[in-house]
Chains A and B, each alone.
Chain A
Amino acid sequence: MRILRLAGRRLAASIPTLALILIGVFLLLQFAPGDTVDAMMAQMGGGDAATAKQLREFYGLDLSIPAQLGNYLWRLIRLDLGFSSIYGKPVASVILERLPPTILLMTASLSFAFFFGIVFGVIAARGVNRWPDTLISILGLIFYATPSFWFGLMAIVVFSIYLQWLPAGGFENIGLVQSGIWRTLDIARHLVLPTLTLGLIFLAIYLRIMRASMLEVLNLDYVRTARAKGLDETRIVIRHVLRNALLPMVTLIGLQAGTMLGGSVVVESVFSLPGLGRLAYESVVQRDLNTLLGIVFVSALLVIIVNFAVDLVYARLDPRIAAEG
């Protein structure tokens, strides 16, 4: 309960942050050339000034900027994100439709990067300054420097065009109507390359942090005690070292949540996945500013939620944190 209260307090502290972001981006978008009505008029194939004026009145765009901001925030409290003129639907439902692929992709990439980051980090730390360590460290540096969209394209060339093992894009095979396990497998097949592409840079970061944190913990006194006690090395690593070495990794998840969401914009565009990131890109290209503002809200919210979860996990891994709070 104590943990929950502690994390809850931090969650409450992020509400002003969220408000700050929304007000900032709202004001920023006022500088954008053209508004929703301009976009709608363009879609309708033009119209006279009187119609534009009417529409602006209807959407409350003729009010002063502070009044518009107030209206927007008031609607937001009731979870109303406004209306997307491009999609002809409320922004909230457009975003909700696009959320599952992104969350799936992020979870998969995070698990991939986290798991292999631990494995490679442990292997590198165990053989520090020998060839496995050198090899893993070099690979990590190269992965870090690889632009994700380029890796995605090259993966498509190799695995989809030449070897024809995996699909080049899309979320599922629309040609076949599938259900249950087959649909799940189909989606999984479509997500293999995007997951690797998005996860690569995080794998590089995680393995580096894991290696460093392993090296630090391996030199602590209690590990020497465990060795002196006669425990074998594998047992020491798994039971004693790993738990403590994991702490910085967990912190990193919270710090990287935003970066990962940003990365999914690019990866979803490469693999034409119908996710939140692609929606962000489309709304920039189509000047759908209402949707863009909605995405800003939802992505900030996602980052806050991830950080809340990280706080909970952290307190579980390190009981001292809950006790001190």
Chain B
Amino acid sequence: MIRMENVHKAFGNNRVLQGMTLEVPRGTSTVIIGGSGTGKSVALKCVLGLIRPDSGKIYVDGKDAADTGDRDAFLARFGMLFQGGALFDSLPVWQNVAFRLLRGSLKRPVDEARAIAIEKLRRVGLKPDVADRLPAELSGGMQKRVGLARAIAAEPEIIFFDEPTTGLDPIMAGVINELIREIVTEMGATAMTITHDMTSVRAIADNVAMLHGGVIQWTGPVAQMDDSGDPYLDQFIHGRAEGPIEAVR
């Protein structure tokens, strides 16, 4: 389980998180929604330790994420799909997927790591001949799939998805949504996704949390999202220009 308690983070005068509190139960898929620049990515990066919060606490399975002791072991529990894929340009696809399996505490023999990479590529719908290509030779949708394969390669307990469908056509977005749902279910992983794609929210989420003004404005099961009665959430999910969230024209 992941618990964020009263997390604050500012960049200069820009106060991004202003007391964010959120609980993500183990084995569930929680989607954080919110406008651009509301701090969704910052929240994920705070959990991973990529950004240090100014104040507040983050717990993973009851342990303080800022005081993990063995950082490698802590990070080995996580997989992350980055918005732009963040694939390493200089490495072929299979080495990107098997990156964690080729070094560090989870190191395996090269042949075994390659076999696992090809199996994970197959799991996300890519053929083995993609394995030896460089990321720059792939389309955006294929890069997302490779990023997804890399995120699940070491079978992590917790997976983060940062804008998994941004920049994809609706059909490819649907395919990625289905893959995420299937993989999270079959691995029994805890998932945290950030997105503004409402189709994605309905496809992936067990629970939804809306981040606005640096705090969680509303949270609840996805089934209750349409009848929440929260004017902020209502405006966001229906994409209305008028409402309590100020829209810059």
Are chains A and B native binding partners rather than an unrelated pairing?
Answer: no
